[in-house]
């Protein structure tokens, strides 16, 4: 999985950098130098994608796991608490819809 994500990131970066490279070196005639520069850019992009993917992948997998676990179990816990009568009741509301709650009267 790490290799697939790294490949996707490297390919994406190389696509963007390739377009910039063609624009920057469109009038440069030396083919051997262009190949050498492209190879060096590829090596740098590969290292950059490795540095970005390697530490973030365990974090992403952990977040995905707990998200799926909470989605699977979370709703059942709420229903069980409601069935057991453990959910707090709602605070009392005013009889007039849309009315703001009245402030307590001050004692002189």
**Could you read off the pLDDT of 29-65 as tens digits, one per residue?**
778 888 888 888 888 888 888 888 888 888 888 988 8
- 8 within some domain: yes
Between 26-30, 83-87, 94-98, the lowest mean confidence (pLDDT) is in 94-98
Please tell me the predicted confidence (pLDDT) of residue 80: 72
- 95 within some domain: no
The 3 state secondary structure assigned to the chain is CHHHHHHHHHHHHHHHHHHHHHHHCCCCCCHHHHHHHHHHHHHHHHHHHHHHHHHHHHHHHHHHHHHHHHHHHHHHHHHHHHHHCCCCCCCCCCCCCCCCCCCCCCCC
- 97 within some domain: no
Find the domain containing 62 and state its range: 2-84
Domain count, the chain: 1
- 96 within some domain: no
- 100 within some domain: no
pTM of the model: 0.45
- 107 within some domain: no
- 98 within some domain: no
């Amino acid at each position: 999985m790490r290799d697939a994500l790294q490949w996707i990131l490297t390919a994406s970066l190389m696509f963007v950098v390739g377009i910039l490279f063609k624009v920057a070196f469109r009038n440069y005639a030396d083919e051997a130098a262009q190949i050498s520069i492209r190879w060096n850019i590829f090596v740098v992009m590969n290292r950059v994608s490795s540095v970005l993917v390697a530490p973030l992948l365990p974090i992403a997998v952990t977040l995905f796991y707990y998200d799926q676990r909470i989605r699977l179990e979370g709703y059942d816990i709420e229903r069980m608490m409601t069935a057991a009568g453990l959910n707090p009741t709602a605070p009392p509301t005013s009889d007039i819809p849309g009315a703001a709650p009245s402030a307590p009267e001050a004692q002189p």
